[in-house]
Amino acid sequence: MAKEKDNEKETKLSRLDAKREQAEAKKEEIVKQIEEIKSKISEETDEKEKAKLRKQRDELIEQKEAFVITDEKVKIPLAKGTKTAIKSCIAIVLVVALLVTYVATGWAKHGFISTLGWPQKAFTGLVLTDADGEKHGIKVSTYNYYFANFYNQQQQQQQYMSQLGGLGGESGSSDVDFEKAFKEQTYTDPDSKEKMTWSQHAENEVIDNIKSVYTYYYAAVKKNNGKEPEIKDDQKKELKDTLKEYKDEAKKYGYTLSAYLEAALGHGVDEATFRHEATVSYISQNYKDDYQDELAAKAYKDADYQKYLKEHKDELVSVDVKYFECSNEDEAKAMVKALKDDGSNFAALASKYSETAYEKKANKDAVETTYKSATRAMFQGVGAAIGTADEHEHEDGEKEQEEKYSGLDWLYSKDRKAGDKKAYSTSVVYVLKPVYLSDIKTVNVRHILIKLKDESKKEDEEEAGDISAEDATDAQWDAAKKGAEKVLKEFKSNKESEEAFGELAKKYSDDSNASDGGLYENITPNQMVPTFNAWCFDSARKAGDTAIVKTEYGYHVMYFVSAGKIEAWKYTAQQALASEDGEKTVDKFEKSIKIKKSWPGSCYFEVDTDISN
């Protein structure tokens, strides 16, 4: 008996060791992902894309810190993205995987009449009442489309959990069994702890998602005098490409496109329905983006800025520094030791300790390692070691602003003086100007990016594959430079106006903001990579200036539009104030919208897996 107990104990310990190894491996993978995202942040030129990357980084950090790995217990947290995936139905999600579930189990729901699809297309399943009290009917087919998206996202989430080996996880949305009917399973809301069937949970989520999309869709139509606004060209292309993928997939199963979509996305969801729902999603998102941009542009009085400054001074003040990130702490210590008191050899040392041939060459230019009007957020944004929060135990309810940043506290201390230098972990900083409130204003520029290309890696007949600065040959750099010179020559040979430059950006730029004419508004210091930043914030810069600037992405044809109207710190304050006020405005607006089920249409809602009847 004792031997059996020992064996059982040994088995449990063995399983725990296996779980611990898997947990450690998963945690290491997340740490690696965090570092990769930090690298992408430092390379990204588009501020909106940077914001997305920062959000991903913060979510991964939160997930990493939620791991529990002790001698007695192992817990792997559920990825934040999987918990909130069902809240995001704005973008089109290609749900080809659904075909396996729906087609394999057949048309077993709601009887023969339902399989024809006409009740779903004809009947109103939901009624949305907008802010003006006007009522809008939403078809059952719309509900079924969103149900399919919900269902697919749950499957994807479960697949993610299975990849973790069934370890840890949080109760709630990950516990669904796709071999059983939803109505036979219990869901517990992680916030309210309310218990309900999975069928009810699915319905709640689907209706919430429909409400969030259609709220802004109807607002967009109303603003456009009762007509649907046009969607953007890239959205039209995305929709076309998505439907092509569906059509190709349908052929594999011997389906027409509409039959395939009904099989994959539910009764009543044919090609016309899919096009409609995708278009509604695009219109909704476009209107919401414009609405939020409008809220973000709200103006404030100087008294508001001064009050914000008083309350958030640590976040708004700046320093001028030379900064470089070494590969390891030993190199950082060696670099500081070799650094002259006047900092004159900083660039040479940065070049010496750079990892790649491209960086060694680029960092010989002092502009690459010089940061003026640098805020705390800048160091955090580029993933600098000195901008990383200190390791400490996190207590329940701890807020982000309660994190400790001893490296930044040293750098932004009132005790700092010009000439101070420090190695903090892998970061090396040399103080040019200690903490102060910068009066530099934001700037507005347009640019046309000519990326480095590898003609031997053409993705199609027209486009060559992108290549990194580290891998590019001299010939490829020369080709990119000649491309930029050709574009600038074309600009100067015609009407040299901002509008003309914008049209050339749409035609030639490889950057993500090409469709916006290459425009970047209200750029703050150090938002862009060093050489781009230095050109923008040159004190001699004036409207209409042009130039070609080299960065790690290739060559940029620059056009200076104008200096902003307010100082960069005020713009930061304005954005924060507008964000807070905007959230309140949006929350009030969304709460004014009501949605409820309509009978008999709601009788034809998808309510469970097809095996349920």
The pLDDT score that the predictor gives to residue 268 is: 80
Q: How many CB atoms lie within 10 A of CB 230?
A: 13
Produce one character per residue of 147-161: b if its CB has 16 or more CB atoms within 10 Å, e if not: bbbbbbbbbebbebb
Token code pair at residue 215: 């709220």
DSSP result, 375-430: -HHHHHHTT-GGGSPPP-PPPTT--GGG---HHHHHHT-TT--TT-EEEETTEEEE
Q: What angle do CA 295, 299, 300 make, to 5 degrees?
A: 125
Token code pair at residue 103: 């087609």
Q: Count Cα neighbours of 87 within 13 Å in the Cβ-side half-sphere.
A: 6
Q: What is the pLDDT of residues 88-146, one digit of tens each?
A: 333 344 444 444 444 434 333 333 333 445 567 778 889 999 999 999 999 988 998 89
**Pairing mode, strands 421-424 and 318-325:** unpaired
Compute the distance between CA of residue 158 and CA of residue 81 in angstroms, rounded to an integer.
13
Q: How many CB atoms lie within 10 A of CB 18?
A: 13
Token code pair at residue 71: 């001698």
Say whether pLDDT at 13 is over 60.
no
Q: What is the pLDDT of residues 28-55, one digit of tens each?
A: 677 677 777 766 766 665 555 665 676 6
Handedness of CA 240, 243, 249, 253 (dihedral sign): negative
3-state SS class at 443: strand
Q: What is the pLDDT of residues 567-607, one digit of tens each?
A: 999 999 999 999 999 999 999 999 999 999 998 878 878 77
Compute the distance between CA of residue 364 and CA of residue 350 in angstroms, rounded to an integer.
7
Q: Which amino acid is at 382?
A: V
**Residue 260: closest CA among 272, 250, 274, 273:** 250
Say whether pLDDT at 152 is over 50.
yes
The pLDDT score that the predictor gives to residue 155 is: 77
Q: What is the pLDDT of residues 418-441, one digit of tens each?
A: 999 999 999 999 999 999 999 999
Q: What is the pLDDT of residues 305-319, one digit of tens each?
A: 999 999 999 999 999
Number of residues that make up the chain: 613
- Distances in Å between the alpha carbon of 179 and those of 146, 176, 182, 191, 212? 21, 9, 9, 26, 30
Q: What is the pLDDT of residues 540-575, one digit of tens each?
A: 999 999 999 999 999 999 999 999 999 999 999 999
**Residue 123: closest CA among 101, 147, 146, 143:** 143
Residue 547 near residue 555, CB atoms below 8 Å: no
According to DSSP, the residues that pair with 113 across neighbouring strands are: none
- Distances in Å between the alpha carbon of 395 and those of 65, 190, 226, 347, 457? 11, 19, 52, 42, 51
The pLDDT score that the predictor gives to residue 258 is: 85
Give the residue-averaged pLDDT of 515-531: 94
Confidence class of residue 161 from pLDDT cuts 50, 70 and 90? low
What percentage of the chain carries pLDDT values higher than 70? 75
Token code pair at residue 178: 């796709």
According to DSSP, the residues that pair with 554 across neighbouring strands are: 451, 551
Confidence class of residue 458 from pLDDT cuts 50, 70 and 90? low
Burial class (CB in 10 A: 0-12, 13-18, 19+), 491: buried
Q: How many CB atoms lie within 10 A of CB 193?
A: 8
Confidence class of residue 391 from pLDDT cuts 50, 70 and 90? confident
3-state SS class at 558: strand
Q: Which amino acid is at 348?
A: A
Give the residue-averaged pLDDT of 204-215: 94
